[in-house]
Amino acid sequence: MKLYLKDGSIYEGDSFGADVAMSGEVVFNTGMTGYVETLTDPSYAGQILVCTSPLQGNYGVPDAKYFESSKIQVSGLVVSEYSERYSHHDAKQSLGDWLKKSGIPAITGIDTRAITKKLREHGVMLGTLSTTKPRAFSDPNDENLVAKVSPSKKKIYGNGKKKIIAIDCGMKENIVRSLTRPEVTLIRVPWDYDFSEDSYDALFISNGPGDPTMCGLTIASIQKAMAAKKPILGICLGNQLLALAAGAKTYKLKYGHRGQNQPCIAADSGRCYITSQNHGFAVDEKTLPNDWDVWFTNANDESNEGIRHKRMPWRSVQFHPEASPGPTDTAWIFDEFLKTI
């Protein structure tokens, strides 16, 4: 099997996933561990993932209760070295077997360092995992990926006094676990659900894949919650959607932030937090209205990592405080959100 890039580059290796051809946006992730959580993160829909950490598969795949969604979300996987033999007390199957059962192609024996350097220099690019050269490359960002990963029905967790509407744009399961408290009723709704007539106390906007400007219906719903002066918290795509609802703009990053070691500096304290991230778009903080402040900034490239309103309880972060995988240094953000309700 080979990885074909749109610039004409070809990388040949050995297949250890499904023997199918898949196209997508080729991106890299710098995480040392956590391939199970990463592969099941809906934010990766439409993407072929290149792992910079050379060894993958060595601890196998556990039970589905550890997944961040019900299935593998990536379009393909590219690694330097795949470990056929795995060892972990929670392991139920090998990474290769899981990929094959899921119909996802994967390739090993690739110089992932060379691909990463190419993507860092030229930016993310389209690619295809296949045994034959593709005739064309399809761009997943041309379609509404959120509509593909968002659920079709409402789901309710808990029976607490604090009712939170959670817009599921591709929400990770650890976000659900982080918000499910004895005092909370979490109402998980599709991306296009109109909750303007529902009874609720606060709004949560989840992570998700693709271009945030595709989610016009979600942005309109957020604006209704703002008009009702409800407390709001957004994560990842939720940061971008809240900014768009406020009147700001977003843009596509050159190669995005994907991994568990992104340093973010809090504007108020100057403290640096190490965060888990997975996103290809960012908020253009120069376009934020005057009543909004920057909350966090990426220490590597100074891109926006969070915004908050000067008076209202509206805030969001570009990183993942729920981790899975990665550090939990910013899990306190969930606690602060619940205090505003």
Asked if 336 is an active-site residue, the reply is no
Contact 238, 205 (CB under 8 A): yes
Asked if 320 is an active-site residue, the reply is yes
**Residue 182, CA distances (Å) to 83, 152, 186, 230, 265 in order:** 42, 26, 10, 21, 32
* Local structure of residue 141 (DSSP, 8 states): G
d(CA 51, CA 67): 18
d(CA 159, CA 133): 54
**Residue 145, CA distances (Å) to 148, 215, 293 in order:** 5, 9, 29
Number of continuous H segments (helices) and E segments (strands) in the chain: 8, 20
Residue 321 has a CB neighbour count (10 Å cut-off) of 26
Tokens at 146, concatenated: 């959120």
Of the residues 169, 215, 236, 264, only one is catalytic, namely 236
d(CA 194, CA 210): 21
Of the residues 25, 68, 173, 322, only one is catalytic, namely 322
Of the residues 257, 279, 309, 320, only one is catalytic, namely 320
Helix (H, G, I), strand (E, B) or coil at 35: helix
Asked if 121 is an active-site residue, the reply is no
- Give the DSSP H/E element, type plus range, for residue 44: none
Tokens at 250, concatenated: 């977003």
Instruction: Please give the positions annotated as active site.
Output: 236, 320, 322
